[in-house]
Structure 1
Amino acid sequence: MNYEQARAYAVNVSRSGSILGLDSIENLMHELGDIQERLKIIHIAGTNGKGSTGAYLERVLIEAGYRVGRYSSPAVFDPMEVWRINLQSMSHEEYADIMEQVKCACDRMVEKGMEHPTIFEVETAMAFLYFYQKKCDYVLLEVGMGGRTDATNLIKKPVCSVITSVSMDHMQFLGNTLTEIAQAKAGIIKKDCPVVTILQKAEAMVAIESEAEKQHARLYTADVSKVTVETETLKEIRFDHPGLGTVTTRLTGTYQVENCCLAVTVLKEILGIADRIIIDGIKNTVWPGRFEVIGEQPLFIIDGAHNEDAALQLSASVEKYFTNIPITYIIGVLADKEHKKVLEAMLPYAGAAFTVTPDNPRAMKAEELASEAEAIVARLWKERAGKPEKVQGTENSPQGAGGMEPLPKVSACSSMKEAVQLALEHTKKDGVILAFGSLSYLKEIRQIMQSD
């Protein structure tokens, strides 16, 4: 099997969709010798912050001298980045080789009368096999969706479980309340294995504490309230950590201090990594597509915010870094996400918004998104006109809470290139363009900017 054949097989398997549950992945891994049980795994679940937290852990462990495998999806810029060892993505040759081994195991399952595994189960099995054959010292394993019934959760004895910020997402699969969603995420907690989280909203915290107690798992909580931010710019955040002293991260956005503290707790309390290595590793951590600057004059930022909690965090960053600066948005979303709540969080700061249709079967059409955005803008501006003294969420918008300006321009674009072109034409050199709403189209935005 060569790379093209392997990719074709993956496309064919992906047509079967996804099924939550562990029976199929357990059968598949049994065909492969249950090699996942021989790996030292750090299992990461959560709604937002999994990628950034994983990036901190990855970099610090590499700097500590370990060979680190990382499984993180979806891919943003390159399909092979889902599987990485020491920051290097899987090669096409390695992909074909590993896929062929997993395909043979899938074929044996079908011959025995079992269902063919889903694409996520196939790719998860590939991760276990790849990291085992490459003799990784640690594996950072990111949950695909939820936790309890996710294919990654067949592991029995992780080094530790990590739960990042929990909020509303994937409600059609995980439940309609924060408690239900947190219970699904807490499903990765294993008997007698430590778990590390942040201070969550009350309902989520109760669900995590309850599961930890049930599993006799020691719970560590990273307390961000004890951290003092010293300086915060678009290039770096510097803060005082009670256990480390001054820490500097190049991952910016108001939410990064929380992700960083979570990673530090894992590294210090569970893995015993030296303070100096942690500090150096965090400073050298890079994670593309998260409040990442890809252009200047005007400043051009891309961010994968795609649910309400991530949008609220992004809006806090906009308010902090760009007070009274009109922002030009490029927005593309998936139809099954909380797009209305994302728009409500972000549109108060808009000077203009250009909507796009991501290249994804679940994408919301640009025209539908523009119509929804126009309705929200009209309502927000009407509320502002009725209550000019204060409208929550608009104090630092381009127009402020006092004076009124015309409604922001909202336009649906037929292509990413058109959106970038119109955004650049609309925005002054000292202005800001922000593309957000889904990770799935950021690769194309970056390619367009690089080609220009």
Structure 2
Amino acid sequence: MSQNSDAVLARLNRLHPKIIDLSLGRVENLLAALGHPERQLPPVVHVAGTNGKGSVLAMLRAMLEESGRATHVYTSPHLARFHERIRLSGQLISEPDLLALLEECEAANGEAPITFFEITTAAAFLAFARQPAGILLLEVGLGGRLDATNVVAHPELTILTPISMDHMQYLGDSLEKIAREKAGILKPDVPAIIGLQPPEALQAIQDRAEEVGAPLFIQGRDFDVERQGNEVLFRQSSGETRWPLPGLPGPHQVENAGLALAAARQLNAFLPDPASVARGLKKASWPARLQHLSEGNLPANLPQGWELWLDGGHNAAAGQALARALNALPDSAETKPLDLVYGMLNSKTAAAFLEPLAPLVRQLRAVEIPGEPNSLSAEEAAWHARECGVRAEPASNLSQALQDLVQCSAQPGRILICGSLYLAGEVIRQNEGETV
């Protein structure tokens, strides 16, 4: 038997095909060998999109758990540990259970080429099929149409969060192509909640829905949401309802709350109690989504008056949402200047992410993401920031970046670490004192 799940995960990574061709054939073959666990799942809410998937799922999970509903959740990528991806009835999967499932999938797959996401998704489906629950919240890994999660034939509900340019090397070089891939999760007669979309993305979604016969509930047409004071106003044809502000900070989370509320309406049999919905909105939490790090190793080493924040956003839409959220935080730029520490993968467009943030930034330190061969070097990342008009220098590591920002500042500031979920995971590990 393997020593731990990390050893099996490392072996599974070596099965990765030499050329990535998005398809369902590999995962379908493995699931057949495992007895088709994807056909034995609880009712599924399937979520795709570019930005906001995790936040919408976090709100829905909190609502369902507040209602007493046993809820399975599948998300990706993880931040600090792989176990975060598989949540069984409110609890992260245990190490013994994860190890056994991974070894079972490894034995069933043999030496056949398969992607890491495909084989670990099969393991997750085994876990979800074997432990009863009232509902499963299932997040797409990449795209939708050919994503390993799209083997679920009859979900209870689908959700498409806002779509923007991302993963173009796999999904296409236009919003229309990307939206069509993500709309591949739409199924005949399965209602779909559609977030605010650019016109070309919305048209692609509507075309796909017409092809398969999926009823759409579209934000801006069938429902809408806005903040009014300290409440969320949710409108639909049957009238208006008022809800508490979501526990996740930032104006963009009001939009995400609208999708979660629209989903809750469709899931009325699972969420009949409005009080549970309200409590869930307030209690929802999701790491590395404009998360204030007030405890742990990293903030403890900052001088008095400094704040430390963390966000995993990494594309243009995330940069825009972050800029709006930062502007909405207490204290002005004059009383609490903004400094950035950022690192990015070389598959992302750094300028598109940084441009909305650049006018707000006092200074920046760029870092290479530890353990990520596809990370921009600190020097490359700093160059991209300077091209956006930001005072930027490379730093050798995260600790050095934080130390430099403090030493170069006459006034305590608000430091935001951002640019990558992989960097966010490293921050969480360091903050909790884990060695990697």
Give the TM-score, by structure 2 length.
0.89
**Measured at CA, do residues 338 and 431 of structure 1 come closer, stay the same or move farther in structure 2, by a change above 3 Å?**
same
- Superposed CA deviations along residues 162-184 of structure 1, whole A, max 9, x for unmatched, are 11110000001111110000001
CA–CA distance in structure 2, aligned partners of residues 80 and 336 of structure 1? 25
Partner of 1:44: 47
Q: How many matched pairs?
A: 409
CA–CA distance in structure 1, aligned partners of residues 315 and 412 of structure 2? 29
Report the Cα offset of residue 449 of structure 1.
Answer: 4.7
Residue 106 in structure 1 maps to residue 109 in structure 2: yes
> In structure 2, the residue corresponding to 1:21 is in which secondary structure?
coil
Partner of 2:426: 444
Among 322, 333, 357, the alignment partner of 1:324 is 333
The within-5 A match list for 1:86-101 is: 86-101=89-104
CA–CA distance in structure 2, aligned partners of residues 32 and 160 of structure 1? 25
The within-5 A match list for 1:314-353 is: 314-321=322-329, 323-325=332-334, 326-353=337-364
Identity %: 32
CA–CA distance in structure 1, aligned partners of residues 432 and 355 of structure 2? 31
Partner of 1:355: 366
**Measured at CA, do residues 345 and 228 of structure 1 come closer, stay the same or move farther in structure 2, by a change above 3 Å?**
closer
CA–CA distance in structure 2, aligned partners of residues 332 and 199 of structure 1? 29
8 Å CA contact 2:79, 2:426 repeated in 1: no
Among 225, 245, 258, the alignment partner of 1:227 is 225
Give unmatched runs, 5+ long, in structure 1: 232-236, 378-407
Residue 21 in structure 1 maps to residue 23 in structure 2: yes
Instruction: Read off the aligned partner of 1:411 and give its amino acid letter.
Output: E
Residue 71 in structure 1 maps to residue 58 in structure 2: no
220-229 or 341-350, which moves further after superposition? Answer: 220-229
Report the Cα offset of residue 444 of structure 1.
Answer: 2.9
The within-5 A match list for 1:46-445 is: 46-107=49-110, 110=111, 115-223=112-220, 226-231=224-229, 238-242=231-235, 243-272=240-269, 273=271, 274-295=273-294, 297-321=305-329, 323-325=332-334, 326-359=337-370, 360-377=372-389, 409-427=391-409, 430-445=412-427
Report the Cα offset of residue 427 of structure 1.
Answer: 4.6
> In structure 1, the residue corresponding to 2:424 is in which secondary structure?
helix
Instruction: Read off the aligned partner of 1:207 and give its amino acid letter.
Output: A
CA–CA distance in structure 2, aligned partners of residues 445 and 421 of structure 1? 15
Instruction: Read off the aligned partner of 1:282 and give its amino acid letter.
Output: L
8 Å CA contact 2:248, 2:286 repeated in 1: yes
Report the Cα offset of residue 375 of structure 1.
Answer: 2.6
- Superposed CA deviations along residues 140-180 of structure 1, whole A, max 9, x for unmatched, are 11111101111111111111111111000000111111000
Give unmatched runs, 5+ long, in structure 2: 300-304
Report the Cα offset of residue 117 of structure 1.
Answer: 2.1
> In structure 2, the residue corresponding to 1:180 is in which secondary structure?
helix
CA–CA distance in structure 1, aligned partners of residues 384 and 411 of structure 2? 29
**Measured at CA, do residues 211 and 141 of structure 1 come closer, stay the same or move farther in structure 2, by a change above 3 Å?**
same
CA–CA distance in structure 1, aligned partners of residues 12 and 187 of structure 2? 30
Instruction: Read off the aligned partner of 1:89 and give its amino acid letter.
Output: L
Instruction: Read off the aligned partner of 1:238 and give its amino acid letter.
Output: E
- Superposed CA deviations along residues 71-104 of structure 1, whole A, max 9, x for unmatched, are 1011012221011123321111111111122112
8 Å CA contact 1:44, 1:143 repeated in 2: yes
Report the Cα offset of residue 323 of structure 1.
Answer: 4.3
Instruction: Read off the aligned partner of 1:159 and give its amino acid letter.
Output: E
CA–CA distance in structure 2, aligned partners of residues 317 and 330 of structure 1? 17
Report the Cα offset of residue 446 of structure 1.
Answer: 3.8
> In structure 1, the residue corresponding to 2:142 is in which secondary structure?
coil
- Superposed CA deviations along residues 396-437 of structure 1, whole A, max 9, x for unmatched, are xxxxxxxxxxxx531101111111222333456652111110
CA–CA distance in structure 1, aligned partners of residues 49 and 196 of structure 2? 13
CA–CA distance in structure 1, aligned partners of residues 362 and 311 of structure 2? 18
Partner of 1:34: 36
Give the TM-score, by structure 1 length.
0.86
8 Å CA contact 1:247, 1:279 repeated in 2: yes
44-53 or 317-326, which moves further after superposition? Answer: 317-326
8 Å CA contact 2:80, 2:429 repeated in 1: no
> In structure 2, the residue corresponding to 1:187 is in which secondary structure?
helix
CA–CA distance in structure 2, aligned partners of residues 22 and 246 of structure 1? 40
Instruction: Read off the aligned partner of 1:318 and give its amino acid letter.
Output: L
